[in-house]
Amino acid sequence: MSNLKLNPLEILEIISLIGSFLDRKDLLNCLCVSKTFHGALIWHIWRKIIVRRHGPFTPTGEALQKHKEYIEKIHFIYPQKDIPEEYGSLQGCIRLQFIQTSRISPREPAPTRFLNLIKAHNSTITKINLAYVQNSQLLWETLLGCANFNRLKVASMCINDGVDIFFQVCKKLGYLDFKNVSIRQLPTDFLSGEASEYTFPNMHTLRVDDVRIDDPPHPHTSPYCLGTLVRRCPNLSTLEYRECYPRIDVRDKFYNEAFFHHSWTLDNLSELSFPSIGIKDEDLAALLRRMTELRRLDIPCCDFGQLSLQALLADEQEILYNGQVVRKIRLRRLCETVEILMLDVRNKIDGLVYTILSNCPRLKRLCGPRIMVTEIVDGAEWVSTQLTDLIITLVADIDQETEEGMAKTRIVFKQLGKLTRLHSLCLTAWVRSIRTLDLQLRAGLDELANLRSLYTLSFRDDFHQQMQLKDATWMVNNWPSIRYLYGRVNWESDENGEDINTLVQSFLKSHNIYCFP
């Protein structure tokens, strides 16, 4: 019975949960409330620390030694030649898992203190981020000695020494993200045969952004080598690949080697992101037909056409059986598993957005081309009711001034009003000087009353909006989360010659809602 009388603010778990919502200043104040508060919240102060070269809050001395057992992450910012000596000799951080550092001077090929810190915690460290850090064989040897190390992020590095050991480290990883990285050359037998020792069985996430093989084996190219790297990750589920200056030959050599020139091995692949390279519709469709599940497809430069759409909707997939490509019934269609679709907003295929919204029940984010009001009016109900972000060009191909046109507009508003989880809504993603829905109560704006999570609304390049103060007042009263409107809200003047746009914007700004033309 005594437990029933316990004050909730004396229960460590409850205090710690409250602490997760407080900033540093509030946490420091709460430490002084009681011993119970101090014991529950001190971890929140120390679990992530930032070490700056001249930082006023950099932990040092007795305080560092006293609280080192709580440290989970250390972020070194601009440490110059090496990290501070006090941290290089630090030991006993029993919870330390993550080290992040940047700009260790290239004049220091082996930052001894930094490496000593890693060695002292090689049984606990699981994740390291390196940016502008000088490559060295000793660095990779040190990481190879970390028993539980599985996440590596590298940015702005030239890997010219210790390449073999670098790839040995990669064999431990489940997550590899490298950006603006050049690798001088591959190990001798990296490209030789399917039984190569350079296979990465643990890799589930691979992010490649402007990575170059400076001296690829003749006659191969850097994209071909990177395609081989992808193929050597049999358990890969997430792939992001970006080229800063993509060419057709670059594009083809990468994805042909990764996906088409060999037997399909990427059975777990479900998230694809190619933000800068273009893939033809037939090639993209062939890739989708091989995939068992699709969660994310980010392809704003690819040709997502009828063939790709058919693959998204198909109830069959292609598999390799006894050396032959055969089809089998899917457990779930790709459209039934996809959560993120980022397509080319300039795509001109009729009915694309409508088909997606009518067939993708788990979709949370959609960036796509245009959809007509008449498509929505004449079509079936949308099933994508879990959407949080919708970026499209919604074209009002009707006369919104007529009674019939306003009735159709209200139907569209009703459809949008069912997307109750929307955080951002863009109605004019691409087409210039387009007319979209009139954002007025008389047109059906009140059908969006349930969009209480809406944070941003965009209607840029629509030169026909005539929003009035009563419409803006309705937004303030019904959308508690709204903060940003992108687009001119009114293009007319009132009977006294005053600019209505300025009046409406001033009213919205007084309620912390900001408008940008």
Q: Give me the average pLDDT of each 10-residue run along the chain (517 residues).
A: 61 76 79 78 84 78 91 86 87 96 65 92 97 90 97 94 94 96 91 78 96 91 92 95 71 82 84 92 94 96 95 92 84 97 90 96 96 94 97 94 94 97 95 88 97 97 92 97 95 73 94 94
Predicted TM-score of the model (pTM):
0.89
Measured in whole angstroms, the distance separating CA 371 from the mean position of its chain's CA atoms is: 25
| Total residue count of the chain as it appears in this document | 517
Cβ proximity of 49 and 59 under 8 Å: yes
Determine phi and psi for 481, rounding to 5 degrees: -95, -10
Q: Please give the domain boundaries of the chain with CATH numbers for all domains.
A: 13-149 (3.80.10), 347-516 (3.80.10)
Question: Among candidates 255, 268, 263, which has minimal Cα distance to 229?
Answer: 255
- The pLDDT, as a whole number, for residue 247 is 62
Cβ proximity of 386 and 344 under 8 Å: no
Beta pairing partners, 517: none
- The pLDDT, as a whole number, for residue 59 is 85
User: Which token pair is 150?
Assistant: 């599985």
Cβ proximity of 441 and 474 under 8 Å: yes
Q: How far apart are CA 324 and CA 78, in angstroms?
A: 56
Place of tokens 């007529």: 402
- The pLDDT, as a whole number, for residue 3 is 55
User: Which token pair is 335?
Assistant: 């459209």
Cβ proximity of 209 and 245 under 8 Å: no
Question: Among candidates 101, 107, 109, 112, which has minimal Cα distance to 73?
Answer: 101
Identity at 143, one-letter amino acid code:
L
487: Cα within 13 Å, side-chain hemisphere: 28
Cβ proximity of 93 and 80 under 8 Å: no
- The pLDDT, as a whole number, for residue 1 is 41
Q: How far apart are CA 437 and CA 462, in angstroms?
A: 9
Element containing residue 119 per DSSP (H, E): helix 112-120
Nearby residues of 56 by Cβ (< 8 Å), 6 or more positions away: none
Per DSSP bridges, beta strands 484-486 and 514-516 are parallel
Beta pairing partners, 250: none
